[in-house]
Chains A and B, each alone.
Chain A
Amino acid sequence: MTQGKELPKVLILEDEMQMRFYLMTLVKSMGYDPILAKDGSEGLDVLKQIRPSALILDIMMPKKGGCLVYQEIAACPEYKDLPVIFFSGVDRNAFFHYIKMLNVTLEHPVPEPEIYVAKDADPEYLKMVIRTCVEKNYPKPDH
């Protein structure tokens, strides 16, 4: 990374302090700039000010959980290209089932989430997922 050039930002929405610290360390170790928020509403506020290259989203958080955040992001065309990485201890099947059930009640159904990483996934796997998202989305220097 050349000095002065802005690092790709990764927004981390996670309510648990230690988990947040872990994700921060992980993102930092990849050479990206971690931005932390401890619940959904705080995360959405941050999103209004900065444009991250990827979003790591915990599902169960107080105030506003990950699914509600996802629903709001999906409703905004400006976030169309923002990759969302669901990172949770919720069982994968239970989560996808929940999204399906949620869609039944919504006027504008949300797209099925593309990326789900279990909370007990290996850090190397999580890094690979984050890198794929960021590189896909990160504007090329000559862009």
Chain B
Amino acid sequence: MNTSPMNPLKILLVDDEDGIRKVLKITLESAGYRILTAPDGETGLDIFVREAPDLVITDIKMPGIDGIELLKRIKHLNPETEVIMITGHGDMDLAVKSLQYEAADFITKPIDSLDLESAIQKAQDRMAISRNIKTYMEDLKILVEEKDKKLNESEKLATIGQTIAGMSHAIKNIAGGLKGSSFILEQGIEHENRQYLKQGWEMMKGNIDKITKLSLDLLNYAKTTRLNFQLENPNTPAREIVQLMTHKAKEKKINFKFLPSPEKKMALMDSDAIHNCLLNLVANAFDAFDESLDPEGQKQDGPRQVTLGITAQEKEIVYQVKDTGAGMSEPVAASLFKEFITTKGVNGTGFGLMTTKKIIEEHHGNIRFRTEPGKGSEFIIRIPLRTKG
């Protein structure tokens, strides 16, 4: 699409008059253009389809497919092609009509070579402009795509910001707990008060556990961005939890039940990540029996049971972690997966559930829960059964 001698502008010339065709061909070729000619509309259309000329110059009045019809068909085939109409003296109506069909220009017979050259030049300018517009639109599209990408990145940054805010809150609470416990211990030593010493020591141990858990949670949270999916038996990560937690269950006098799936279905998952999710949920379930959650000891006589169950359904794997512990009040439950609130609380930092939710979402699954104060809680993870990536 340029007029350099190496690649001259290709013009299709359609006219039923032999003489005009010949004269125009010679004139235009000597001006540096490459000329194709056709004696009628049908032939012109064939050549147009075959040769894809940059510009078409056509007589308006022709037998068969006339100039207006040819213009319409060409514009239909390729709207970007510029078409210059040749009109006789009394054809003003047709000329105007051709402009309605988006002809580039019209020149009148007898043809003045300067008029023709200027019409071709104008058509070329128009082509250049529409090329520029096209390029501009494409640039704009790329620009929009880039902005979209940046927006996504900034959303990611916002999430990281939230994570850091939540983390700072968790750390502040732990630091507060450690300072508080030191104060109680100092008072206990000063007054030789055994109760102070005991309480202060418990509080300090609890906060040391919390900070250990926080660092593990943060590590797990960071890991969720690079999961490694492999075909696994969904029972495997759960079985590891049972081995890991059975001792703790005995220590806390909890009846820990494991109900593996009897079906031998394999699912695409990151076994380590699912292991972490289940560990977090089971540890939470165990914590639901802690006395600090229930200072009045109302639940001390009730059954102390935690169940970890797995079922393989047709389209999904379902993990269920159920406890008969303290349960959660409505406001606590409502704020559960929001880190700002969950970082509050006796038994953890709130990052565990956030990480669990993120891991499950990376598996295209979901996590739901039911809870009732005094009765217990139940968390259900559903992961779609995929066997291929």
Interface residues of A (CB under 8 A from B): 16-19, 21-23, 25-26, 29, 38, 60, 62-63, 89-91, 94, 118-123
Contact = CB atoms under 8 A, between A and B. Distances in A.
A120 B292 contact: no
Given A62-B332, A91-B168, A118-B172, A19 B177 contact: yes
Contacts of B183: 22, 25-26, 123
Chain B interface main SS type: helix
Interface string B178-220: 0111111001000000001001001100100000000000000
A122 B182 CA distance: 10
B307 interface: no
A38 B172 CA distance: 20
A97 to B, nearest CB: 12
A21 B199 contact: yes
A38 B293 CA distance: 11
A60 B202 CA distance: 23
A60 B332 CA distance: 10
B172 A89 contact: yes
B187 A25 contact: yes
Contacts of A118: 172, 176
A29 B176 contact: no
A68 B182 CA distance: 31
A68 to B, nearest CB: 11
Contacts of B295: 17, 38
B298 to A, nearest CB: 14
Given A18-B202, A89-B344, A63 B331 contact: yes
Contacts of B244: none
A25 B181 CA distance: 10
Contact of A123 (B180, B203, B345): B180
Contacts of A38: 295
Nearest to B335: A60
A62 B327 CA distance: 13
B344 A18 contact: no
B208 to A, nearest CB: 13
A19 B178 CA distance: 10
B180 A60 contact: no
B329 A62 contact: yes
Nearest to A39: B329
B181 A16 contact: no
Given A18-B346, A60-B344, A123-B179, A25 B184 contact: yes
A18 B172 contact: no
Contacts of B158: none
Nearest to A18: B203
Contact of A17 (B184, B331, B346): B346
B341 interface: yes
B165 interface: yes
A90 B346 contact: no
A10 to B, nearest CB: 15
Contact of A63 (B177, B184, B329): B329
A120 B169 CA distance: 10
A18 B179 contact: no
Interface string B128-151: 000000000000000000000000
Nearest to A123: B183
6 closest A-B pairs by CB: A22-B180, A119-B176, A120-B175, A89-B173, A18-B203, A123-B183
A70 to B, nearest CB: 17
A121 B182 CA distance: 13
A123 B183 CA distance: 7
